[in-house]
Amino acid sequence: MKSLSFPAGFHPVRRDQLRQEREHDSYKRRQKPPEPSSCPDCGAVFRGGRWQWGPSSALSNEVICPACQRIRDQFPAGFLHIGGAFFAEHRDELLSLINHHAEKEKVEHPLARVMGIDDEDDGVLLTTTDIHLVRDLGEALHHAYHGELEFYHNDDEKLLRVHWRR
């Protein structure tokens, strides 16, 4: 019997196994929307294979972007809990930093948005449409004010919880 030899770096595909999906995000479409498309809620435009800010044409298809869909469903991808005695004393300053970073990120990435900031007994809970945004906001707080920063990632739900306190 002759053995098979493959070029270096080549891995044959096995078709006799059922593979689990690596990443499941119910807000990520299997197919890209037709181009050009625009979101009727926020005005983001799908062009060049990605969502971006820009003018939409009269011929654009109306497609709700994933961020607006998350906002409609009230189903955040990221949670940032900010608390502690330092937060209580410097609330406005810390929220100003958060808003500045969130707006800066939104300019470049239309799908990365803050959904809401809700008061809690020991601080605030900020929700986002994107896990990268919530991570960046937590790291911005940690970089500026130090304190304790913790990440809890759930791969199954494509969800990130970040806790910052000082």
Does residue 56 share a domain with residue 93?
no
Question: Does any domain span residue 103?
Answer: yes
Does residue 154 share a domain with residue 102?
yes
Does residue 134 share a domain with residue 88?
yes
Q: If 0-12 CB within 10 Å is exposed, 13-18 middle and 19+ buried, where does residue 152 land? A: exposed
Does residue 160 share a domain with residue 82?
yes
Domain count, the chain: 2
Q: What's residue 150's pLDDT?
A: 95
The domain of 102 spans 76-165
Q: What's residue 115's pLDDT?
A: 97
Does residue 161 share a domain with residue 82?
yes
Q: If 0-12 CB within 10 Å is exposed, 13-18 middle and 19+ buried, where does residue 142 land? A: middle
DSSP-derived letter for residue 158 is T
Does residue 132 share a domain with residue 160?
yes
Question: Does any domain span residue 23?
Answer: no
> pLDDT under 50 in the chain at which residues?
21
Q: What's residue 7's pLDDT?
A: 59
Q: What's residue 24's pLDDT?
A: 52
3-state secondary structure of 156: coil
Question: Does any domain span residue 43?
Answer: yes
Question: Does any domain span residue 29?
Answer: no
Does residue 56 share a domain with residue 129?
no
Question: Does any domain span residue 117?
Answer: yes
Does residue 118 share a domain with residue 83?
yes
Structure tokens at 51: 């969502």
Does residue 154 share a domain with residue 91?
yes
Question: Does any domain span residue 6?
Answer: no
Query: What type of residue is 38?
Result: S
Could you give the CA distance from residue 4 to residue 138 in angstroms, rounded to a whole number? 51
| Domain finish residue from 53, 70, 87 | 70
Q: What's residue 154's pLDDT?
A: 82
What torsion do the CA atoms of 86, 90, 91, 94 make, to the nearest 10 degrees? -90
Q: Are 131 and 160 in contact (CB under 8 A)?
A: yes
Does residue 62 share a domain with residue 118?
no
Q: What's residue 42's pLDDT?
A: 95
In terms of pTM, does the model score above 0.85? no
DSSP-derived letter for residue 12 is P
